[in-house]
Each structure stands twice: as structure tokens, then as C-alpha cells.
Amino acid sequence: MICNAFTRLYDCWVVVFIFLSEEAIVVMKLFVGNLSWDATPADLEALFGEIGAVASANIITDRESGRSRGFGFIEMENDGEARTAIERLHDYEFMGRPLTVNEARPRERRERRW
């Protein structure tokens, strides 16, 4: 049966195939610590962008003050480029401070204090 504008929806079967390359699915998340208080996500994206494709750059801020907490996360689209970034940028001096760069670990669950 061919579906057309006049056919009821339940009379038709629609099959959709989505093909994604493995590179599109794999995104490696990196932890970046010891950041300068003046660093911005754009600064991080530019630094890591010299090594490979950056999917996202984020600096964690304090909820109340909005000030940087001194660390952030980078998501890189290619696992090999992410590992190269770790090798090259760990202990690299950026904006006057040596960076700590490693693969991000899942956040540990904490109990609420209140």
C-alpha cells in the first residue's frame, strides 16, 4: 500500500533508518582544571581547537556569585584528538597557570546536606 495525504495514519507503516558514523556518536569529555579566573569558554575552545574539533567548551561557575570555580569541561569529537590534547596540554601554562587536563570521570553521587 502506498501512503498518501488521504490515507489514514494507521494504514501506513513508516520505516526510518538513521545511519550515523561511529565518529558522530563518540564524544570524549575532558576535565580542565587550574584555570585562570579570567578564562572564558571561548578561550578554551580556541586552545583545544588548535589540536582538534571541539564539540563544546564549558567553565563551571558558582551558583550564587557567578564567578568561575577554576575548572571546566571540553567535549572533543575525536577520541584520538582528545588523547593528544591531554598529552600536549596537561601542565601547559595557559593564562599564567599550569593546566590540569585529563579524561573526565562521572560525577559521584553525594547526599544532600540539608
Express as a percent the part of the chain with pLDDT over 90: 68
Q: Which residue has the higher pLDDT, 44 or 15?
A: 44
Q: Which fold has domain 25-103?
A: Alpha-Beta Plaits (3.30.70)
Q: Is the pTM of this model over 0.95?
A: no
Give me the DSSP letters along the chain. Answer: ----TTS-GGG----------HHHH--EEEEEES--TT--HHHHHHHHHTTS-EEEEEEEE-TTT--EEEEEEEEES-HHHHHHHHHHHTT-EETTEE-EEEEPPPPPP-----
How is the chain split into domains, by residue range? 25-103
Grade residue 21 by pLDDT with cuts at 50, 70 and 90. Answer: low
